[in-house]
Chain A
């Protein structure tokens, strides 16, 4: 039982560092942001023939930082 308790505590310490929440108490916050490169669509003149304008863009994404090289 004692060993199980230690394992549980160990997981409780390690897991927050793997999370994607905004809990910054165990690490350094890294903000992931996004933007579109230009006004969405093309043919900005809405009456131009054969053109497209976009009104909403939604994307599912996840991110990660690669390869911790060495601790600071």
Chain B
């Protein structure tokens, strides 16, 4: 089977609002046919026009901040402490990243127990260079390295015990 076989099981886009808590947060529930699944795929992406088709106004409002300009997939808010100054910032990323995990053992979707897939975001590396130096979110020159850090920090795994770690 090709990876395109999974396309009919793809969820609609959702916005994850993680704040700063490390607690596990449920994003959505998909209803899948029972079976054994070889893996999962998570896509962090900008909203496409086809995604918007059929959305109600309240549903579309959830994506409002991501639809500005060239459209965004990640929005980070925070504070920079640099050189004795304090600056709030909002970093907007346009990354389109797919993370796919093939399981060593198939993921069993059956009535016998709950199934959870968790996406992990390693935010502590996003604004840090390979040498550990700060990457100022306000500096356009840092956009590439920060986006690369976001992409490489995404992991996805089966997490049926819901402890936030790979089973």
Contacts and interface: CB of A to CB of B under 8 A. Distances in A.
Interface of A: 16-43, 46-72
Size class of the contact patch on chain B? 35 or more
A49 to B, nearest CB: 7
Given A17-B31, A68-B33, A57 B18 contact: yes
7 contacts: A36-B21, A37-B120, A59-B15, A60-B47, A60-B74, A68-B5, A71-B35
B22 A38 contact: yes
Given A37-B121, A40-B124, A69-B106, A20 B12 contact: yes
Interface of B: 1, 3, 5-47, 63, 65-66, 72-84, 100, 102, 106-111, 114-124, 126-128, 133-134, 137, 153, 156, 159, 162, 164
Contact of B10 (A25, A51, A52, A63): A63
